[in-house]
Every structure is written in C-alpha cells, then in structure tokens.
Chain A
Amino acid sequence: MALRPQQPLLIRLTHWANVPLLVIIAGSGLTILNSFPDMGPKGAEYFWYPHGKAPPEALMIGGWLAGARHIHFGVAWFLALNGLIYILYQIASGEWRRRVFQIKRDALNALQTALYYVRIRKHPPEQGLYNGLQRFAYTSAIAIAVLEVLSGLVLYKPVQLSLLTSLFGGYDGARAVHLLGLCALALFTLGHLVLVALHPRELFTIFTGGKRE
C-alpha cells in the first residue's frame, strides 16, 4: 500500500459532513419522538420507557411534527449517501485494514488500552494509526449507524419493507432500536469529544490529514 495520510481527504470530508447532518437528523428525530413520547404499540407500551416523557427542549429541531418529518426524511438521504461514500472508499482503498476492529489483532490491545485509561496499567500498549479500543469504538459506531439506517427504513416503509420489519420484531421494535441507537451514538460522540480534548493533536489531523505513513 502506498504511503497515505493518516486521515485521507475523503475520510476528512465525510467526517466533517457528518457534523451538521447528524445534529439535524438527531434534533428532528427528537421532535418526531415528541409527538408520541412513548415506545411500544398502543395499550401495550414497553415498561422501560418513561411514558410521556418529552425529549429535552433544547435538543429538538424543526418546531412541529410535519416540519421535523420533512427535515428528517430529507436529510436522511444525504446522511446515508455520505455513509455510503465513506464505506465504499474504505473498501476500494483498503483503508479499512487499519481501521476496522478485528478480534485477533485488536481485542487484547483494546483491553490493555482500557486498563491504561482507568489507570490500572502504567503504559499504553503499542499502536499504529489507532489502538484496539479506538478501532472497537469506531467500528461499533459504524455498525450502529447501519442499524439506524435499517431501522429508519422500517419506520419509513413498514409495509413495503415488511421482511426488514419482521427482522426488527415489528414496527415498534424498529422504533425502539432507532431510539436506543441514537442514544448509543450520542454516548459515542460524547466520548469522542472528551478524547479529542485529551489529545488535541488529533483535531489537527482530521483537518490537515496528518503525516503519511
């Protein structure tokens, strides 16, 4: 493989495109949730959701249900396209080899890194572009994003895509996965921001591309 920057141009572009797209899709999604702030079918709502609890006002985008739905279903296409470009680029360039979590290669390293972060280990394990824990986090985030697209398609067309609907245990199952996936992605983003704050050098890399290796 020829030398290539730590963060190739296409990775940087799709990364930054995600920022406004994810903010808008999440905010409009919460406005949609707000019109029925509950989970599960009518009369058989799931026990674990705080029935009727509205999402935080400050995070909602779109103002009302119809506006939020138009925004959500509009932005969704761009977000999916951005994700598709990102994944296809990784496959075509072989970039996935240094990014995707592979149990044999990364599991022990991920564990050691975690131990280092909680101060049980004195020194971090050796690493290339990413350590095992990073690979695990990034790969999980992509898997969850794919799950968000699939469960979102079920909510968009539960009848026309009935096979997909049944894979999620029905429309309401898909709706629950869609919300829990959002929570997981929000947690990931929070952790991502904290770690960037701890390693500010990486913030430059995702702008400039970093050194070739």
Chain B
Amino acid sequence: MKRRQLLTFALLGAAGCNSEKPHDGLLGAMEKWNDGAQRLLFRKQKLAPEEPERLLTRMEDFPIYHVAPDVPVAPKGWRLEVKGLCSKPLSLSVDDLQRLPRTDMRVRHHCVEGWSAVASWHGVRMSEIARACGADPRARFVEFNSFDRPDSPGSDDDDDEKMPKPYASGWDRESVDHPQTLLAYGMNGELLTPDHGAPVRLYSAVKLGYKNVKYLSEVVYQPMRTGGYWEDQGYEWFAGV
C-alpha cells in the first residue's frame, strides 16, 4: 500500500500532477485542453434527445441536493434579478416568468458522480430572457447566483464578510443561449418544489448537474468568466455533456 502510493506520487508528482489542486500544473494544462475540446464539440443547435415517458425517473428516486443544511426557502418578496451587461435589467416573479413563452422538455440528467435520471422541466428559455433584458453580445459569460448558502464554519452568523458564499456557477454564453437551457419553475408537470430548487432553478440538457444552479436569486451577464461553488473547489469549469 505504502509502496503503491509512493509510486503513484512519483509518477504523478514528476509530471506536475497534484490531485488536490486539479486546476494547477499539468492537470490544469490538460483541463485547458479539454476545455478547448469541449467547446469544439459543442454545437449550438445540437439538441439532447427527448426521453420517452416510460423512462421518467420516479420523483422519490430523483436525488435531492442543496448545500445549505436545511432545504433553502426563498426570502420574503423574492424576485429573480437579471442584470449586468443588459439594456433592460429585469426583476421577475414566478408569475412574470409564467407569462413569458413556455418551453417543456423531458431530458436525461447527467451527474458528475456518474448517475443519470430523467425528468420533465417547464420554464422559459434563457435565450428568451436574453432577448427580454437586451443582453449585450459582449457578455460572453453569465453568472448564476442562488440563496442556497452552506453553513458557516464559525459562530459569527451576522458577519456577512465571513459567511460562506451561496451556491453559484459561471457559464459560457453559448451554453446559456442553447435552446435546452431553461429557467425552470416546473418539474414533472408540477410547480417546482423546495426540494428541487423552488421557486426557480436553472436547468440545461447540455451541462453536468452541478452547473444547474437551484434556488436562483440572480442572473448576471458579464464580460469575464467567474468560477462557482464546485468549480472553485477543483471541479471542471465547462462541464458540458
């Protein structure tokens, strides 16, 4: 066991691979390479296949996930803020969203852990939101922020500076504008429940699960790339499927 570990360290260490910090060294270089390969493979009009109804995952089998210790509940007077590089920033309630053109899709979910599941999603295309808010083409990236906040390690709950940042994820604009990227307010024919990201979550058929931010609070069109909850810890940024 010791010898095997030593050998692994020698092999990987010599090549500048530190598994703890996968964004650095040779692993980081290979991540950039893979980032390029993924962008090359990404087709704007390539749609994920609609799954047949019989493959729908039962609601109780569809994993529930949030980073807060308890199911996050939307703050009173919650609205989704759409801002940044856009000519008409928006402040949307669920009702406002439901008045915009609706898209439904039944697609397969791909989790970074390796499991897959199928659900129907109901909501508004992000490309529709981009039109509505007059998003600038110079905004090559979009950041999605949430009110799903992990527990603070210390006891100073009031000190906002020290509070851990809520769950978030930065995206490339091409994937945001994909026709199967939605602001979803419904799942499997019902309104979204708090377990699955209510009132509104991001859902896309072209990204791994962790890119699809639940409990949305903000959509920010921006010229620079920003990380995210898992991305900052070492998970891959592009994470397309």
Q: How far is the CA of A65 from the CA of B55 in the complex (A)?
A: 28
Contact B19 A160, beta carbon cutoff 8 Å:
no
Does A184 belong to the interface (CB within 8 Å)?
no
* Interface of B: prevailing SS: loop
A160 touches B41 (CB 8 A): yes
Q: Could you say which residues of chain A place their CB within 8 Å of the CB of B31?
A: 70, 74
Residue among A71, A160, A171 with most chain B CB within 10 A: A160
The number of A-B residue pairs with CB atoms under 8 Å apart is: 121
Q: Is the CB of A35 within 8 A of B113?
A: yes
- Among B41, B43, B111, B115, which residue has the most Cβ atoms of chain A within 10 A? B115
- CA gap between A118 and B48 in the complex, in Å: 51
Question: What chain B residues lie within 8 Å of A71 (beta carbons)?
Answer: 12, 17, 19, 22, 27
Secondary structure at the A interface, as helix, strand, loop or mixed, is helix
Bound CA span A162–B116, Å: 15
- Asked whether B234 lies within 8 Å of A67 as measured between CB atoms, the reply is yes
Instruction: Name the residue of chain B whose CB is nearest to the CB of A37.
Output: B114
- Pairwise interchain contact B233-A160, C-beta atoms closer than 8 A: no
Give me the interface of B with A, judged by CB distance under 8 Å.
Answer: 1, 4, 8, 11-12, 17, 19-20, 22, 26-27, 30-31, 33-34, 38, 41-43, 46, 48-49, 55, 57-58, 60-63, 108, 110-118, 205-206, 230, 233-236, 240-241
> Residues of A with Cβ closer than 8 Å to B?
20, 24, 27, 32-33, 35-36, 38, 41-44, 58, 61-71, 73-74, 77, 155, 157-162, 166, 170-172, 175
The 10 closest A-B pairs by CB, nearest first: A43-B61, A67-B19, A74-B30, A70-B22, A36-B114, A42-B117, A66-B234, A35-B113, A36-B113, A159-B48
